[in-house]
Amino acid sequence: MKTILYTTDYSKNSVAALKYAKSLAEKLKYRLVVCHVFDYPTILGSTALSEPFPDLENDALKTHRTKLEQFCQENLGAIWKVPNIQLQPVEHKSVVKGILSTATEWHAQMIVVGIKGESALSEIVMGSTTKNLIEKAPCPILAIPADASHLSLHTLVYATDFEEEDVYAIRKLSELAQAFNAEIKVVHIVTEDEYEGETQMEWFKEMLEEKVTYGEIEFKLLFSDDIFESLRVYLGDVNADMVVMLEREQKSVFKKWFHRDLVKKMESYGRMPLLSFREGNHQLFYFSAIL
């Protein structure tokens, strides 16, 4: 059974992500692994322990399993216990490494995290756990804002730079869209004086059509001198339910600056889930569901 890994710190900010992950797992008929990473004390008085006491480790695992049970019951209801939901307390000094090792262990197709900020996009820039996961995870990261109400996937907006890696990401995204009969809107926003925007769009569409068979894909090329405002307006106009981006490993200095500035400027209105692919791991992204 394929797996969605959800990770929590027991905070209110992660509740919406738990409900979202559960609904997503139910729709796709996936297993949901509910995970919490903790680090028990390795200092007793003033003496450092070279190895933790076995009883301390066992007690900590039991304690956090109980806390995970309570967290699920409080936020999912009394009947949350179903075969496809597994609890996984994990001991690790690093939260990020603990999550990554758990994702590898379960061969997760996706990691779902909750964020406290107003914007999933702004969270990526701030040196957070989410940002580190996106840069290192073997699978896509789905970041859910704390005020997200429920799972609703009708319109997925993919922001593209017209690069070949975008094609592979959209191909995998189409598997998710198909499960929800959702439309993918591929948008590229350029300034009025940018070179050959329409020619690039046609080239990209032809390349995409060779590799993606999903029919509900629309392309939109917007010309604007205010890219940030145009994107904000576009997301509202199409009632976007999710923003999808590709995190690239190699960027020019200009592109790095542009991406960072874009994310910062979106923090005031980006209150929607963000699905982030990492360049190079698209081959691990499978959303095929038994429907």
State whether 232 and 203 are in the same domain.
yes
Contact assessment for residue 144 and residue 115, using Cβ atoms and an 8 Å cutoff:
yes
Is 176 found in the same domain as 110?
no
- Band (pLDDT 50/70/90 cuts) for residue 249 is low
Report pLDDT digits (tens) over 7-66: 999 988 899 999 999 999 999 999 999 999 998 764 444 444 555 555 677 888 899 999
Considering only CA atoms, which of 124, 110, 224, 210 is closest in space to residue 170? Answer: 210
Examine the domain organization and report whether 138 and 202 are in the same domain: no
Q: Would 290 be classed as within a structural domain?
A: no
Domains identified in the chain, total number: 2
Residue 150 belongs to a domain: no
pLDDT for 286 beyond 50: no
Q: Does residue 289 fall inside a structural domain?
A: no
| 291: in domain | no
Structure confidence by residue, pLDDT tens digits, 214-237: 999 999 988 887 777 787 789 889
The reply to whether 7 and 141 lie within a common domain is: yes
Tell whether 55 and 96 lie within a shared domain: yes
| pLDDT, tens digit (0-9, with 9 covering 90-100), for 152-190 | 899 999 988 888 888 988 998 999 999 999 999 999 888
Q: Indicate if 201 and 121 belong to the same structural domain.
A: no
The pLDDT score that the predictor gives to residue 78 is 80
Inter-residue contact 70 to 34 (CB < 8 Å):
no
Confidence of residue 277 (pLDDT cuts 50, 70, 90): confident
276 vs 41, higher pLDDT: 276
- The boundaries of the domain holding residue 32 are 3-145
For residue 248, being part of any structural domain is answered with yes
Residue 284 has pLDDT above 70, yes or no: no
Tell me the pLDDT tens digit for each residue of 75-133.
998 888 888 999 999 999 899 999 999 999 999 999 999 877 544 444 444 346 777 88
Q: Which of 116, 145, 174 is the last residue of a domain?
A: 145
- Residue 138 and residue 235 in one domain: no
Residues 219 and 140 in one domain: no
Which pLDDT score is estimated for 53?
57
Predicted local confidence at residue 291, as pLDDT: 37
CA–CA gap between residue 241 and residue 6 (Å, rounded): 20
> What is the per-residue pLDDT for 190?
80
Q: Residue 100: which residues within 8 A CB-CB, separation 6 or more?
A: 133, 136, 137, 138
Task: Give the pLDDT score at 268.
Answer: 44
The reply to whether 126 and 253 lie within a common domain is: no
Helix (H) or strand (E) segment spanning residue 36: strand 31-38
Which residues touch 138 (CB under 8 Å, ≥6 apart)? 100, 103, 104, 108, 281, 284
More confident: 264 or 67? 67
Where residue 175 sits, what CATH number does that domain have?
A: 3.40.50.620
- Same domain for 109 and 163, yes or no, is no
Whether 254 is covered by a domain: the verdict is yes
Q: Does residue 270 carry a pLDDT above 60?
A: no
